[in-house]
Amino acid sequence: MANTSNISRRDFLRAAIASSALVLPISGAACARDPRSGSTGAESRGWDRVPEILARIRPPVFPQRDFLVTEFGAVGDGERMNTDAIRRAIEACHAAGGGRVVIPEGRFLTGPIHLLSQVNLHVAEGATLAFSQNPDDFLPLVFTRWEGVELMNYSPLIYAFEQENVAVTGAGVLDGQANSEVWWPWKGQGRRAQPGGPHQDAARDRLFRMAAEAVPVEQRRFGPGSYLRPNFVQPYRCRNVLIEGITVRNSPMWELHPVLCENVTVRGVRIESHGPNNDGCDPESCRDVLIEDCYFDTGDDCIALKSGRNEDGRRLATPIENVIVRNCHMKDGHGGVTIGSEISGGARHIFAENCRMDSPNLERGLRLKTNARRGGVIEEVYMRNCTVGQVSNAVLSIDFFYEEGREGEHLPVVRAVEMRDVTSEHSTYPVFLRGFEDKPIESVRIVDCHFNGAERESVVENVAELLLENVTVNGVEWTSEVEQEVSA
């Protein structure tokens, strides 16, 4: 963006238009564009939607009936496999009409756990569910989603398919036992890669080609020899899901990954997992989601909202919508609250408030990432009352140049994004906004925000409307006519 500290408003506007970076001041109670009407009037409901969303989000309630896995033959010695015993307990609980399947104190080694309707898998305090390090234990293949594309692959570690009223709760630990020897090297890059060893690249490319060619999902068979890592907890096409209280460690890939679910509550969960693609919580193509009082210390995005990748996302055409994130603490990760990059089905009505983000290893606060292959419409995204200690990149980032950038025919739409009452103490950029010249970012509002310790100027490229009110950078008001001064 042109430096405007010593030029007139007319010259500034000419320079902004010439660079396709138009920045306008906000005043009074002006509203961002309403994505439904295309207008800029007061009809955009914003935070007024939250009470009605919360009214629909109700955690499942289970009968007061316990099924102790040790009564079905499970042994918590950390050595014997308990897959069959846990399965028998789940089947008995389901047949009885529901209740809790209880993992008591001890270390219980297991293969995949498949939940059934009306079952709450309760991992008690002092209990650890440790998952097998043998990929063959996660066969047969199941219907799942990998990086936004449906396929038949290894079972997720905890999985539910087309079930209703399911939960994973308790103060215990889920240990995926992924490490530099098992699962993580399949990523095929970075310090955990094994030279000449197995890696996912060939299968990943084949999967994406299959999706582009509309190969039926049942024929997209992967598993042994493909090296596509399973996700940890994945309810798929489920209704009424609760994940509460547990600690998750050492995941092969994404940790909590509800897909095509409705009415999801993630509460009081602690994520501590620094492997490759170790996103903390990735609701994908879900509706009515509450994520609250959680702690994220991750190897990738803390929270990443998704809706499918490229052709597969457009085939299902199911957005991630009506998501509330509140009272969470984000430590390490690529982004605190992220939307994308698998976002081809779109995202709307996203709300984040009262969160704390702080780590030299946290890259961004609010992050929207997409490109011309993903496409999708991202609209009505709101963040308020959040504090950022430090992030290594930007407090607010909207970037159309993620991975393939402009190489594609599906231009993304981002509009009606608002950041309000957010403070930061250190970042490289306060704000990083990059749209396309032929498809700019639309209507971004920043209100009552104070960005301190910024090392560089904000990047604002190809933004149709940036609305500012009471915004300071390093103590200096940032308006459309005075470029913020930054420290060297």
Catalytic residues: 300, 334
Residues in the chain: 488
Separation CA 142–CA 115 (nearest Å): 13
Structure tokens, 126 = 């002092």
Nearest alpha-carbon partner for 140 in 126, 121, 159, 125: 159
Separation CA 110–CA 130 (nearest Å): 6
Separation CA 88–CA 101 (nearest Å): 10
Q: What is the pairing mode between strands 262-267 and 287-292?
A: parallel
Separation CA 73–CA 92 (nearest Å): 13
Nearest alpha-carbon partner for 385 in 355, 359, 358: 355
